[in-house]
Amino acid sequence: MGLYSQFIFPRLCEWALNTEPVAKHRQELLSQAEGNILEIGFGTGLNLPHYPDRVRRLTVVDPNRGMHRLAQKRIQQRGIDVDQRLLKSEQLPFENGMFDRVVSTFTLCSIEDVNQAIAEIYRVLKPGGKFLFLEHGLSPEPLVQRWQHRLSWLQQRIGDGCRLDRNIKELVKAQPFSSAAMDECYLEKTPKTHGYLYKGAATR
């Protein structure tokens, strides 16, 4: 992992994703968080202020040491017990059916083997458990899609692997979840190429 990934990109993420419009979506999504929770792509801990008070403990994974360092202050401020692990999401070291909820926000765009990561999410969820996700991805508009495909290579370089054109709906549907409720919209004050959101809950 290079200097850009460890020292510059975590601060860029903190700046880009710590906004009021994004916070509103985080709050709505995480109102469903309860029980034994795993968060993948924990980043700098931007979800922490939005977990309900009933959430007292989290297990979180992220492979970026720079994210890990920046998250410490937010962890201390929030007062939630966080089991923080430097891991990729494609091979989770947890037992089958261990978690009531798995949370992913602005993470699936940058996981190299995203299908394997979602399969792992499915595996570690309890029957009836929910995968809560807030992700950006492929727009339904053909013109926007064309620009997303054109710009994705640049976004991958700037965004440490982040892709603009992943179809989150299809990725979730590819796993045998029993049901999936999903809202889609453009994030306000954001270019359409970067701000098409998928927000939902898929039940194992």
140/19 Cα distance (integer angstroms): 24
Nearest to 45 by CA among 93, 78, 92: 78
- Which are the contacts of 142, defined by CB distance < 8 A and separation ≥ 6? none
pLDDT for the residue numbered 1: 67
Under CATH, to which class is 3-203 assigned?
alpha beta
Q: How far is CA 168 from CA 7, 72, 158, in A?
A: 28, 30, 21
pLDDT digit string, tens, across residues 89-126: 999 999 999 999 999 999 999 999 999 999 999 999 99
Nearest to 199 by CA among 27, 9, 12: 27
Residues of the chain scoring pLDDT < 50? none
pTM of the predicted model over 0.85: yes
pLDDT for the residue numbered 79: 87
Which structure tokens are listed for 137? 């991805």
DSSP 108: T
14/36 Cα distance (integer angstroms): 26
pLDDT for the residue numbered 43: 96
Nearest to 165 by CA among 179, 184, 181, 146: 146
Write down the domain spans for the chain.
3-203
pLDDT for the residue numbered 178: 95
pLDDT for the residue numbered 158: 94
pLDDT for the residue numbered 62: 97
pLDDT for the residue numbered 141: 98
